[in-house]
Structure 1
Amino acid sequence: MPYIPHTEQDIQKILKALGASKVEEVLSQLPASLRLTKALDLPAGLSEQELAAHLRELGSRNTTVQDYSSFLGAGAYNHYIPAIVDSVISRSEFFTSYTPYQPELSQGTLQAIFEYQTLVCQLTGMDVANASLYDGATAVAEAALMARRITGKQGIVLSSALHPEYRETVKTYLVGTGDQLSEVMYCTETGVTLPGAVEAAISDSTACVIVQHPNFFGCLEDVQAVAEVVHRKKALLVIVVNEAISLGLLKPPGETGCDIVVGENQSFGNPLSYGGPYLGFMATKDEFIRQMPGRLIGQTVDRDGKRAFCLTFATREQHIRRERATSNICTNHGLCALAAAVHMVGLGSQGLKKLASLNLSKAEYLKKKLSEAGAQLAFSAPTFNEFTIKVNKDPGQVLNNLLGKKIIGGLGLKRFYPALDRHILVTATEMNSKAEMDALAEAIKGA
């Protein structure tokens, strides 16, 4: 049946109110060049059974990490998702990403988000975290805007070892703002952002410096040294965490002197899903709480003295005066945040540490095997579960050859960094078996 809400009687009432005799008179105001003058070329409708079969056929054309061994990361990581995650997030009470507009009526939803915020604070070592953001890239852009509001300055310094797509997102957000955007080149030997280079890039108008840790090449930055330089120059330090599992081993950013921590939490409880939806996070110091974008859930007591949860801050332009709003972000990724919270709680602090250690050991084993196979490690800095190698042949050819062996070999870096035209970013997680890593090394021999 056609899903058209208006009956013929409804249409006649509308036309009468408009003073028109037929629909064409109303549509005549549209430019002829924009009017569709022929019927849409659409296939015939399908029954539910036929549609299900059609979708299965389309899905079978995809290549997934269940079909191939994957060493691809660069901001989207293949981790095991425990069964408890889907069990909880599939409950009908939670099965929405949206915070209700009468939030205090949804105590379960608010508590889930509150627990997620608490876990993010524990992970990052920061005082306060918001309810979530869209993804890692937009979280970085929101952090840049937040730093501008806090400092009243308009200079943003980005490390060139920050994820290239994150850098592009920041640039897009800042179009038309008059901000001074600059980049600090990474060290070509170590692969990290040198404190001296950061210091040289900061001016009196710099609001913040944005550094990723571990960075895009997988290298571990000296966050504490960078923080000392940034604060000495009266700017804020934003740390970006692309691979949240790394926080199971690395010192929390809050303990290294950073002011704002943002990043991507997809690694906890959220599948690859061909790039989304993902889960951006943001955490900061108490003193900056009123400049945070998005929503913040708080714990209080009701009139009977019982524990209750409430929407403490919602500084979006739909809720408060536009000139006082910190963001126009419309919702939060509540379901993705719940999945991450369930995964984190299921792991516990010791489980997370073991998982992070396993990722590190897998990557170190793969480094060794690839080096023995003839690949060179591109940078000397230590890494977590991701690292960059240099091969002798064109990386595109190498990666295509690997696909023929059912191996997704990593990410060629030439399109992001033209100077790295023989380089591949490789990732190893708990999902990669010894046999898979040995097969990758064998396949890459001579490359």
Structure 2
Amino acid sequence: MLFTTPDFFCSSTSMLFSLFRKPTVFLSEKPRVSSWVNRRTRSSRLCTASLITSPDSFEVGRLIGSYGFMNVTSYSGFQSGADLEYSSGDLGQLRVQDVGEGSVKIRCISTNTSMHMDTNKQKMLYEGRIAQGPFKGTPVIFKVYPGQRAAGIEADMMAANELNAHAFLQSSSEGICKNLLLLLGGFETKTGEQWLAFRDDGKYSAADFAKLTSEKILRARSLKEKSWNPFEQEQAFKRRTYFVIRLFQGAMSGLAYMHNNERLHQSLGPASVVLNTIVERDAAYLVPRLRDLAFSVDIRFSYLEEGPSTFLEDLWRRASSAGALTPMERRAFGIADDIYEAGLLFAYLAFVPFCEAGIMDSLSVQRLLESTFKLDLMATREYCLADDRLLEAVKFLDLGDGAGWELLQAMLNPDFQKRPIAEAVVNHRFMTANVF
């Protein structure tokens, strides 16, 4: 049952609300945008939504999940000669060496993700809908950041950064990208929680798809349900291949849009890609969308020259270690850093959905590539060929005469200057191959 939010009020002293008080973002794919970023308007052939800035504009429904961020204290990109150690558990979208549980956990909606944590420190996800105006009834998903009392100033900073990143990207002269989740507005409660409202474009993530698919493979093999018909087996493989390629291509299109608009994602992984369907037969209608921009970084040169900031400090430390010292070199390193994360996402999608549950996860894939084989993809392939449980993953990456391995090797190149840009990944021959 949905309930209204009459007890939510905004504090004029809140850093985040100081942004929310100004016109925010709207509903249609190509709206007329009037934002605090550039305060300009654009006409559109599509109808536009009224401003949504008040809690009274929304109704809140059921809680559908929660998750938390981790503090990344060191970089786990390939380091020659290093023995990488990892914390226990599935790290999902994070690539880390030394990981500690962060002080901010955000309440978010994800139907298959529910972590048991102290509710005062979680990010929660709620269903909801618009309660007023011409778009009344439109479904939304709320991401809720805990207030300062529960999580300190860090929570407000992350919420404000995510809000600002979406607003900036949605006010681009290029129009709104279909591969980014659409922010509709937000508000603050009396207890200081920051609520961000996104259009409901799907409750599943790439991580959910991979998990459900691998479990399906395990269930079929345990029950000996594997089809006796070789043609049907091949068609099932092709459907999965087509779905995964479209998923990754959509995610990279969203990342290319961000980079073209001077923004880094900096938290890219299977949990940060939202899907409108996880049915492989519906791959033609699949629209992946990037979310989780709390760590997004502005890489316009005017910002790079201002000096260190909360969200740039660790990135620039790693850039300096790689020899990137000037603003231009740092910008190039930041883009390449996102590509490396995207490469780990690609590896995850190449292995986990094609293996039965329990064989591979994000951590084991990363260990295999970085620690065991030091990013030597041909050696990785030879190893996987010797394991019958990994043959489908090898078959996937072998498509196009090994084009998948070629792309993965390029994205994970130890030399950041040799990694491709996002647009080159989108247009790589592996991504544009005719699967059927």
Of structures 1 and 2, the one scoring higher in RCO (CA 8 A, sep 6+) is: 1
Tell me the TM-score normalised to structure 2 length.
0.26
Tell me the TM-score normalised to structure 1 length.
0.26
For the pair shown, the structure with the greater C-alpha radius of gyration is 1
